[in-house]
Structure 1
Amino acid sequence: MSGIVKNTKNLWRRSMRLSDSPMDVAKTRTDAPQRTGEVVTIAVIGCGQRGKAYTQYALDYPNRCKVVAMAEPRPKTQKYFAELHGIDKTLVFNSWEGLLAASADTINTIGKRLADAVLIAVQDHLHAEVVVAFAAQGYHILCEKPMATDIKDCIRMEQAVKEKDIIFGMGHVMRYSPYSKEITEIVRSGSLGELINIVQVEPVGFYHFAHSYVRGNWSEEKSSSFALMTKCCHDIDLICHWFYPATPVKVSSFGSLKHFRKSGKPNNAGDATRCLECPAEKECPYSAKKIYLEPVSQGHTRWPAATLVDGVPDIENITEALKEGPYGRCVYESSNDVCDNQVVNIEFSNGATASFTMVAFTSAICDRQTRLHFSHGEIIGDMNTFTVNDFRKRTSKIHRPKQEGGGHGGGDAGLIRSFVEAVLTSNQAALGTDVGEVLKSHLTVFAAESSRKTGTVVDCSAFEKEARQTSVEGSV
């Protein structure tokens, strides 16, 4: 047996060695359905905040899901993640291309993939390239939101998924929280009559917006995408989900980068470009010292501080990051260009309407404020609890959905659980959506941004038709 073939077989055997489950780091949860011998194996591409959040499920339910391979370029993050999940060192890669090549070797020599599925949590602009590559090898795919940052790429992803008939999940986690699922059940039941209007507000949070959309990875459209896509595509998706089977027919949008510009800089800040040297720092709500250093000094080392460094976010490392990196820059001296406030209006095919607002300047951090108006009642919620007012019964009832813990009110866990179930049963319906519906909600987001930039009301059907035609022409 040649060395290459032998090594390839060893790679596959190690990825399938389910006896090496992470029982040493997590006890098997007995409340999960038991399926003897059926464990979904996953390769994780991108082991940062989102990759860690989703794969917590593998630690909590090792009888259902196991991480067997990974790709992550940051040495300390890579080492931590590999040890946490007990990944064999031969299945730890510095790049997704390396993992893809190793997988190709095992497929070509022994006809087996390294895992059942891949979890893709790389930067947004890479989603399409990675999804298309691993779909071609037949992997089931769970991809972090957004689908992609370009319409053509979204359409290309849909085609790749449909061509291989694989399970596809999208990181629209809001659908999968106990809160949203309970509301969905009421909507579908018809107990309050017909859903006629939705009003939803996404209060991003003043320091969250400064962290992610002024200083962070999603601050510039050219290197990421517009804020409505990177932050709020799952809000639009949830609105479309609640109105289903009605579909968006018209959309309009208005918004701007109103505050986080040089013109907003306090006069007493002078020429300072970094918070650590700014005379106005103590009065500034967006001070990097207040957002990162002070919490770390009090022992709060998770998000957002944890995203600044590769390794332990201690005072020394965070201070160094603020001296040299983008997270220490003045929010009024940064290169950001995405909207800090935006509104979207949607008309649906059944005559129903929705309005959505994204705004940076809030104390609440992503606790969506939602109102659903029905012909015979209403639902008013804040992502933690919601009140159902029934006009016919003249009743008002407060609902407190079960808090599962984890990100997005349990949505992170709900999504990965549904994805694992879909893979185990070869049933896309377990996810409650498919790649076609995912694409349609993304196209609505693209249409809204087109409306904002052109100052026109966009016809959604015509917009999709043109997008698909342009995609076909571009591929010829």
Structure 2
Amino acid sequence: MTSSQVGFWHFAHAYVRGSWRNEEESTFSLLAKSCHDIDLINYWMDGKRCLKVSSFGTLQHFTKENKPTGAADRCLDCSVEPTCPFSAKKIYLQRLKQGNTGWPVSVVCRDTTTDIESLTEALCYGPYGRCVYNCDNDVVTNQVVNMEFEGGATAAFSMIAFTERLCERKTTIYGTKGELNCEGSGPVYVFDFLSGQKVIHPSDTSNLKQTRLLGHGGADYYLMDSFISAVAENNKSLICTGPDESLASHLLVFDAEKSRKENRVVFCRREDTVKM
């Protein structure tokens, strides 16, 4: 069982106002945000193929019907803005005033010398200053995916927009001999049914102190480190997955979205039947 906590303001930034808000212009939420989660579940299943999938999800809250009475089309002109947690003033201007010129401010205002004046102008006329209840977004804000794999193993995944934590996973694995829990970058907690003992496995992030690749909880660094080491040492074993695994995960994501749209259980395709 895994959940992806997108973060309330991050979803508003990227999936309501931003580049991944509209399926026709980009893609659907599950592929844009949570293909990595489905990929992880596939990897944890150790080669067992997913047989069938069901999925449910809707666009909630960020709709024109939910626009507060008296709200303007842009945050900088809005009398309701002080009571709105998704306000562009709070997400961008407040961060810049606190000295944050990186993401997400850098996405809104791409000037190399970002200042209040240029950011304010971008919010006045650009897409990131729009009211979240008055955008052209159509991607879902929540989605659950249920999967059944060979051998009877099952997995459940949830993507949640409205969370305090930003882009963190919460995972629980229920086994016959114990239970495993992990949130974010760890540690990993393992409870043994027989002994009744819980063991804590801390995550080793010591290498991250030597690099500026801190994105995605340090995964950017380890991805590049493994690839460069594999090439330098001519050692394929350092690359854990390849195109076959990527194809299987993407097919599963598309099958899940097909299930959601058609409101039915989808029996998954075999990778060897797909024409490339």
The two structures have a TM-score, normalised by structure 1, of 0.55
Number of equivalenced pairs: 268
Q: What is the one-letter code of the residue matched to 1:235?
A: D
Q: Helix, strand or coil: the match of 2:261?
A: helix
Q: Does 1:312 align with 2:113?
A: yes
Indicate the residue corresponding to 2:101 in structure 1: 301
Question: Could you tell me how far 1:428 is from its partner in structure 2?
Answer: 3.9
Q: Give the Cα separation in 2 of the matches to 1:349 and 1:331.
A: 42
Match of 1:245 among 47, 57, 72: 47
Maintained 8 Å contact 1:203/1:359: yes
Indicate the residue corresponding to 2:226 in structure 1: 418
Indicate the residue corresponding to 1:327 in structure 2: 128
Task: Flag the structure with more relative contact order, 1 or 2, with Cα contacts below 8 A and sequence separation at least 6.
Answer: 2
Aligned pairs for 1:396-435 within 5 A? 396-403=198-205, 404=208, 406-435=214-243
Match of 2:156 among 343, 355, 380: 355
Q: Give the Cα separation in 2 of the matches to 1:292 and 1:275.
A: 11
Indicate the residue corresponding to 1:450 in structure 2: 258
Q: What is the one-letter code of the residue matched to 1:455?
A: N
Q: Quick check: which has more Rg, 1 or 2?
A: 1
Q: Give the Cα separation in 2 of the matches to 1:292 and 1:428.
A: 43
Q: Helix, strand or coil: the match of 1:201?
A: strand
Q: Does 1:216 align with 2:24?
A: no
Aligned pairs for 1:14-413 within 5 A? 199-269=1-71, 272-310=72-110, 311-384=112-185, 385-403=187-205, 404=208, 406-413=214-221
Q: What is the one-letter code of the residue matched to 1:341?
A: N
Question: Could you tell me how far 1:366 is from its partner in structure 2?
Answer: 1.3
Q: What is the one-letter code of the residue matched to 1:290?
A: K
Q: Helix, strand or coil: the match of 1:356?
A: strand
Maintained 8 Å contact 2:251/2:269: no
Q: What is the one-letter code of the residue matched to 2:61?
A: H
- Output one character per residue of 1:311-348: Cα deviation in whole Å (capped at 9) or x when no partner: 23321221111011100000111111100000000001
Q: Give the Cα separation in 1 of the matches to 2:269 and 2:77.
A: 52
Q: What is the one-letter code of the residue matched to 2:237?
A: A
Q: Give the Cα separation in 1 of the matches to 2:148 and 2:114.
A: 46
Q: Helix, strand or coil: the match of 2:3?
A: strand
Indicate the residue corresponding to 1:436 in structure 2: 244
Q: What is the one-letter code of the residue matched to 2:97?
A: S
Q: What is the one-letter code of the residue matched to 1:317?
A: S
Of residues 370-379 and 298-307 in structure 1, the stretch that sits farther from structure 2 once superposed is: 298-307
Q: Helix, strand or coil: the match of 1:268?
A: coil
Q: Give the Cα separation in 2 of the matches to 1:454 and 1:235.
A: 22
Indicate the residue corresponding to 1:459 in structure 2: 267
Q: What is the one-letter code of the residue matched to 1:250?
A: K
Q: What is the one-letter code of the residue matched to 1:273?
A: D
Question: Could you tell me how far 1:465 is from its partner in structure 2?
Answer: 6.5
Question: Could you tell me how far 1:413 is from its partner in structure 2?
Answer: 0.3
Q: What is the one-letter code of the residue matched to 1:460?
A: C
Question: Could you tell me how far 1:423 is from its partner in structure 2?
Answer: 2.3
Q: What is the one-letter code of the residue matched to 1:443?
A: L
Task: Tell me which protein shows more helix as a share of its residues.
Answer: 1
Q: What is the one-letter code of the residue matched to 1:376?
A: K
Maintained 8 Å contact 1:205/1:365: yes
- Output one character per residue of 1:381-435: Cα deviation in whole Å (capped at 9) or x when no partner: 1123221101122111222212336122211100011111222234443220011
Q: Give the Cα separation in 2 of the matches to 1:429 and 1:442.
A: 23
- Over the residues paired in the alignment, what is the CA RMSD in angstroms? 1.5
Maintained 8 Å contact 1:275/1:330: yes
Q: Give the Cα separation in 1 of the matches to 2:31 and 2:236.
A: 24
Maintained 8 Å contact 1:428/1:434: no
Q: What is the one-letter code of the residue matched to 1:222?
A: E
Of residues 399-408 and 248-257 in structure 1, the stretch that sits farther from structure 2 once superposed is: 399-408
Q: Helix, strand or coil: the match of 2:93?
A: helix
Question: Could you tell me how far 1:309 is from its partner in structure 2?
Answer: 2.1
- Output one character per residue of 1:428-473: Cα deviation in whole Å (capped at 9) or x when no partner: 43220011111111110000000000111111136x567x24x5xx
Identity fraction in percent:
49
Maintained 8 Å contact 2:74/2:129: yes
Q: What is the one-letter code of the residue matched to 2:178?
A: G
Maintained 8 Å contact 2:56/2:143: yes
After the TM superposition, list the runs of 4 or more consecutive aligned residues in structure 1 that deviate by more than 6 angstroms.
none
Maintained 8 Å contact 1:306/1:312: no
Maintained 8 Å contact 1:447/1:458: yes
Q: Give the Cα separation in 1 of the matches to 2:148 and 2:237.
A: 27
Of residues 300-309 and 319-328 in structure 1, the stretch that sits farther from structure 2 once superposed is: 300-309
